[in-house]
Amino acid sequence: MNLNQVKKLMDRKKNSSKGENGYALIIGGSEDYVGAPALAGLAALRAGCDSVTIAAPEKVAWIINSYSPDLITHKIKGSNFNIKNAKEMVKYAELFDAICLGNGITRKADKFSQYFIRKSPRLKVVDADALKSMSFKDFNNSIITPHEAELEMMLANSGKEFLLPKLKSANAKEKADILQGNLRYFLQNNNVLLLKGATDIIISRNKVAYNRTGNQGMTKAGTGDVLAGLAVGFLSKTRDLFKSAVAASYVNGWVGDQLLKRKKGYCFIASDIVEDLEKLNLAAKKSVSFSKKESSKKKVVTKPVKKKVAKKKVTKKKTVKKVAKKKPVKKKTLKKKTAKKVIKKKVVKKKKRK
């Protein structure tokens, strides 16, 4: 994945109308974690979808309204999500192209998360606390984004604890092989695993990708919420699970690397990443113009070399032809001259005899 490929995912048709580029729903938030769904929602908008709605408990939703006018909120009664809300949310989610679940939802909503993930057939991104009580068999049409600790919990819930020692001592490629080989049922149900780490590993049923953008500053709170928001933004627009996961991972790390260079240290925060996402298009345009300049330079260098070689070959052939023409001309003239002398001698002898 590179900036030009990301730009293609974000491009729109000239005649596109509102809604064609995706409606995203983010389910999350609690009294303790108000900012998490807001960060995810703004990142989803930056990724290119047309509209983002955040379903959150009432008090949390009102705070999000005051934080950003770009975000729509759907207010849930109570202070936390519970099993009573779950059926309503499964129906409500049918209005959207993709759903992100888990940002700031806390473990109090475990039963809600279990019901929603098992019952909703919509395209989903599942993150954070929504993963911790789940088994790999519960998912369908989903991108899941665990870090190593969350992956360990999910493997334990799935009865695959025996993989933990192997994964701890493995490098990125070995981890990908182990997980792809042992999570076949999960991957065959149209799911993608995005394992966050120093090298992000993105695994689908028949593909594996590695992302090495990002730095140590990405361990700060909120960067995972931005990643999940980017993923649901790309997913609501493209409907492609694997490409959306790879693009989100790349963009999140790339912006983090730019912030590290500009701020000259790890003082950047998650909201800085959201603000810097607008610079993606400019960076993509610069990379395109730079590649065009390089290709034109290469063409200018190769053309004169070819012409020089061609001229040398032609001159050699001409010299050979000239030498070949001179030799027979000399021989013919000598023969003609000798023939005239012989005739003259014969005429002289005949005159003497007379």
pLDDT of residue 318: 46
pLDDT of residue 14: 87
20-29, 35-44, 264-273, 296-305: least confident range? 296-305
Distance CA 96, CA 89 (A): 11
Distance CA 275, CA 122 (A): 29
**DSSP readout, 278-324?**
GGHHHHHHHHHHHHHHHHHHHHHHHHHHHHHHHHHHHHHHHHHHHHH
CA-derived radius of gyration, the chain: 37
Distance CA 310, CA 236 (A): 57
Determine whether domain 3-292 maps to CATH 3.40.1190.20.
Answer: yes
Distance CA 258, CA 68 (A): 25
pLDDT of residue 8: 87
pTM, 2 dp: 0.81
Residue 243 burial class via C-beta count within 10 angstroms: exposed 0-12, middle 13-18, buried 19 and up: buried
Q: Give the number of other CB atoms < 10 A from CB of residue 85.
A: 21
Residues 193-221: tens digit of each pLDDT: 999 999 999 999 999 999 999 999 999 99
Domain boundaries of the chain, sorted by first residue = 3-292
Distance CA 242, CA 143 (A): 8
pLDDT of residue 284: 65
Nearest to 32 by CA among 95, 103, 88, 93: 103
Report the pLDDT averaged over residues 236-241. Answer: 96
Share the mean pLDDT of the chain.
86
User: pLDDT band at 7, cuts 50/70/90?
Assistant: confident
Token pair, residue 272, equals: 């800085």
Only one residue has tokens 């980017």, namely 230
How far is residue 188 from each of residues 178, 181, 195, 303, 323, measured CA to CA in Å? Answer: 16, 11, 17, 52, 78
Residues 311-352: tens digit of each pLDDT: 544 444 444 444 444 445 444 444 555 555 555 555 555 555
Q: What are phi and psi of 142, to 5 degrees?
A: -130, 150
Chain centre distance of CA 302: 33
pLDDT of residue 143: 98
pLDDT of residue 278: 77
Residues 251-280: tens digit of each pLDDT: 999 999 999 999 889 999 999 999 988 777
Token pair, residue 195, equals: 């394992």
Residues 169-200: tens digit of each pLDDT: 999 999 999 999 999 999 999 999 999 999 99
pLDDT of residue 325: 47
Distance CA 38, CA 28 (A): 9
Name which residue leads in pLDDT, 18 or 190.
190
